[in-house]
Chain A
Amino acid sequence: MSRNLKSRLKRLGGALALGLGVSALAAGAVTPAYAQERVKVEWWYALGGRLEQIVQSLVTDFNASQDKYEVVAVNKGNYEQTMAAMVAAYRVNQQPTIMQAAERSFLTMLNSNAIVPVDELMADQGYDIDWSDFVAPVASFYMVDGKAAAMPFNSSTPIFWYNADHFKAAGFDKPGETWQEVEKQLYAIKEKGVSDCAMALPNDFYWSLLENYSAMHDIPFGTLANGYDGLGTEFIYNKSKVLVGQLDRLSRMMNDGVLQLAGQGMSPEQLFTSSKCSTIVASTAAHAGVEAGAKFDWSATVLPHEEGVTPLNTTIGGAALWVLKGKSDAEYAGAAAFLDYVASPDVQVSWATQTGYVPITNTAYKQMQDEGYFKEHPTREIAIQQLTRTEPTENSRGFHFGNHNQTTQILVEEIQGVWSGQQTPQQALDKAAARGNEVLRQYEQLNGK
């Protein structure tokens, strides 16, 4: 039995060491930072890879441009992880001043009661921002009653990327304008043996191939103007024959081996840049990666649409910068200075040219046109042209659904049931809408006035 005692003592020793370690850690965490002349403004962002480097250089430039504030940019993982980290931090009053949140969490942030509307912040700090200068679909997404709730930052929209070498080899100049033509071309690419994978399915296909598809074709995704007019909105995407048809097309193409899932551990964009797949529908922000990685004659064009339809504008993706409650005046002054800097035309031009995101103000867009940037890089203009090609309707303005991440996850899960042949597109969309509506009602119950 003395062995038993020994093991117990060992256990106690281990726990003691662990306990000490934990308390040492805690002590380290609460030690106040030494007072410095510059006011530190913390910013949590969610961009990785090449984009992260560009974010860091943006921050370095801002810090060098003045001597009052120091923005400290911290990467907290992807959008979901950053959001979870921020929520946890907020509950214990350790939140950053500025937070980058994806467009999908717009309502969550807006109704959180944890934010200072950017419009209010800028007015308080004496900055005059001309919101009418912001590109229409971007502005209308983040504006509530004519006031900006957040500062649009990285805004994108999906475009159609293609491998021009593969298209030539299959006997085509470029992709067709309608889905009917594109579909024929993709099947030809496969049948002529040009490529095993004519199209890669993007991970955010719900955004690029369904939500944007419904916006372009003026199909309501939900009632009450896709949620813009109230929390009582309900999903009705399952009632549109056209949208069900689109999912049916994707499913058929996948069964015929024309459309490929990258699956876990592989990024679909990589399948395109490595020239394994001939086409992909992906965000314009993929420019940073494609320009750096693609070793073939690549190009891009607008998203295809159905025959006999004049397509509307597409909707934005990406993220915005939100300012959180509970910080000092000095930090708010720093945050306002930084947001003002981010929205300034020069910074916008440099951000857009480096990343591939769209310039968010008309002035910045104009400046890029004047510099002749788009003549040299024609694919960079596709996104902004597509976003602004028509006046947004109720169905093409964008989507304001509560718990949008959660309902999207449900939609993806049900659609995976189509990929695996367990259910038809109609069944999947019916189930997704029914389950999604439950989530919307829960959100309404909690946030309804």
Chain B
Amino acid sequence: MNMQLISKRRFQTSLFYLAVILFLIVVLLPIYYIFLTAFAPSGKLFTVPLTYVPRSLATARFQDIFGALPIARYMLNSTLLATFSTILALTVSLLAAYAIARLNFPGANMVMIGLLASSMLPGTATVIPLFQMYQTLKLMDTLHGLLILYGSALLPITTWVLVSFLRQVPVEIEDAAKVDGASFFQLLWRIVLPVIRPGVATMFLINFIIGWNEFFTPLIFARGAGVKVITMALSEAQVIGARSEFDVSWGNMSAVAILTTIPVFIITLIFQRQIVEGITSGVFK
């Protein structure tokens, strides 16, 4: 055997694993650091140099933030908004996607391009009139008002992805069902939906994550404690027990960051494959 070739290959392999390890460290270390901050006993938070392997963990900060802020309510609101905006957006997008992919009507392309173009309109370029509209229509500080805006943001990409999923599915099964005299909604519910279930499930997961992570919309349209969401608790937790304007509680902030992040991490780790498929199908098809 050629010793030189073997040692060259070995060198390349170790270089490759070095790159993998470096990548894992860059991604995971900041997340670990937030975790460490959230659970650090109060005396151990500010140390130079940092201690990366803690001797003990404390949950006092979680008790503090649950005591000082309506965290459970915020998390409930986030869950409600993310879930229902996703369901609503998927329902109306599925109807539109079916029409676009199957009914071959004049204007179908116009609707697709119009949706894409409208998704390019920046949120900041629509927020001021929406704010004024919401004040006039008494939609400020209401969950249904927020739901309308959360759902709206999801529509263009959801419709696009569902159209692309529908176009990959053969029409023949639907034609057979039509011959059997199925009504339109029977057709949609019994035939179309089961066939494109992977696409719907994927968009459900992605849209839920987007809704859960939303910040700009509630910042403007949710000001009362009853409708606030978990992402808004980050800045509120920083000032719990603050002695001055410059006194920032990084421990409390990190505890909220952990609470905000755990649900999306669980979803992402369980449904990794589906999420990747959803991300790529929005781009390629």
Partners in one complex: no
Residues of chain A touching chain B, judged by Cβ–Cβ distance below 8 Å, are none
Residues of chain B touching chain A, judged by Cβ–Cβ distance below 8 Å, are none
